[in-house]
Amino acid sequence: MAVLEVHLLNNGYFTLPKSLLVYGKYFGETYQAALKPLLVVTEEEKILVDTGLSSLPERHRRFHKISQSPEQSLEAQLKMHGVKPDEIDIVINTHLHFDHCGNNALFKNAKFYVQAREIRYAYASDRFMQNAYIREFFDKELDYRLLKGKYKITDGVLILPTPGHSPGHQSVVVSVENTKYVYCGDAATLAECVERRNIPGVIYRADQALDSIDRLRAIRNAVYVYSHDNQQLSLPRRA
């Protein structure tokens, strides 16, 4: 079914060392990272890509400060577009790091599309990646549909595997007429990841992360959405 509307939501911000966003750069700098799930409305479905964040468990609060006005809560952001959480049919999690699945529990009626590798790893991550996964965010009675690779959700909404930042990371391509909105997820945290081929600072496999960036760069008529770029708060213009 054709895509009718695409909206970039503004779910507030969280702080993190900027060196976690780009590999080998920005040591000692703190960055106010934007949280920006994407709402896609087709003729048949309401689709949400990533679920942002609302609060953090106590043990994580000293590492990240969340700044979110009431209007920036995910419920309020959806309401601005006339959508209630119960009405979301499909959630796509690019991956299960805490800042991308923090509100999964809100979407009781949704099918959740996640790569099988990602969910497996989320439950049993390596020591160096454990802080990125918060089990209480994803380990819920939700309808997870496990994917193995590329997957077409519907006409105009395609899931593309982009591993590297995490083992089962995926990006989403939303086609509206001739434009392809490429929701990079953390395959490209900031514009420089795509523009200068800089891989993310949080990294599971660097070689795969660079391949994934190149896969995104090869998409024609692409308009990229960078997961945490706080200068890009609305959908860029069409190609």
Token readout for 6 is: 């695409």
Q: Can you tell me whether residue 88 is helix, strand or coil?
A: coil
**Residue 186 is a binding residue for Zn ion (CB under 5 A):** yes
Of 45 and 97, nearer to Zn ion (C-beta) is 97
Site track 50-89 with Zn ion (rule: CB under 5 A), x = hit: ----------------------------------------
CA torsion, ordered 38, 109, 120, 185, to nearest 10 deg: 0
Of 99 and 229, nearer to Zn ion (C-beta) is 99
Under rule CB under 5 A, how many of the chain's residues touch Zn ion? 2
Residue range at the interface with Zn ion (CB under 5 A); choices 53-61, 144-152, 179-187, 191-199: 179-187
Residue range at the interface with Zn ion (CB under 5 A); choices 36-44, 46-54, 98-106, 112-120: 98-106
89 and 46 in contact (C-beta within 8 Å)? yes
**Residue 118 is a binding residue for Zn ion (CB under 5 A):** no
Task: Name the nearest CA neighbour of 81 among 172, 179, 9.
Answer: 9
Pick from 45, 50, 99, 118 the residue near Zn ion by CB under 5 A.
99
Rounded CA-CA distance 75/63 in Å is 25
Rounded CA-CA distance 94/114 in Å is 7
The site for Zn ion (CB under 5 A) is made up of: 99, 186
